[in-house]
Amino acid sequence: DGGITQSPKYLFRKEGQNVTLSCEQNLNHDAMYWYRQDPGQGLRLIYYSQIVNDFQKGDIAEGYSVSREKKESFPLTVTSAQKNPTAFYLCASSKGGASDEQFFGPGTRLTVL
């Protein structure tokens, strides 16, 4: 079964700690994305990657970092510099660029205490 996975579903961390959210896809997609969603709001792009070993900042990259060492994997680190990290984080992938359908993982709900 092809798809995109994120783990864990729920994550709790203490303020000041870095945390890494995983995202893996076996769809052979070139592009991968990280979004943040807050209650009652749309998706906001954090980072995206069109190809291995390359990634670009989205609209709200401050306080986040990513890597793309493998085509299948695009982990997101939420650093202590992110002022308000509690949110629902969604990872997505697409075959090519923005005009291609995006497939989303189930999301990780991060709560910073």
Partner 1 sequence: GQNIDQPTEMTATEGAIVQINCTYQTSGFNGLFWYQQHAGEAPTFLSYNVLDGLEEKGRFSSFLSRSKGYSYLLLKELQMKDSASYLCAVVDSNYQLIWGAGTKLIIKP
Q: List residues binding partner 1 (CB under 8 A).
A: 40-45, 88, 90, 97-99, 101-107, 109
Please identify, using beta-carbon distances, which residue of 14 and 84 lies nearer to partner 1. Answer: 84
Token pair belonging to 106: 């189930």
Token pair belonging to 6: 């994120």
Minimum CB distance to partner 1, residue 89 (Å): 11
Please identify, using beta-carbon distances, which residue of 18 and 57 lies nearer to partner 1. Answer: 57
Minimum CB distance to partner 1, residue 57 (Å): 12
Please identify, using beta-carbon distances, which residue of 86 and 104 lies nearer to partner 1. Answer: 104
- Spatial neighbors of 45 by CB under 8 A, at least 6 apart, are 33, 34, 35, 58, 59, 60
Tell me, rounded to whole angstroms, the distance of Cα 75 from its chain centroid.
7
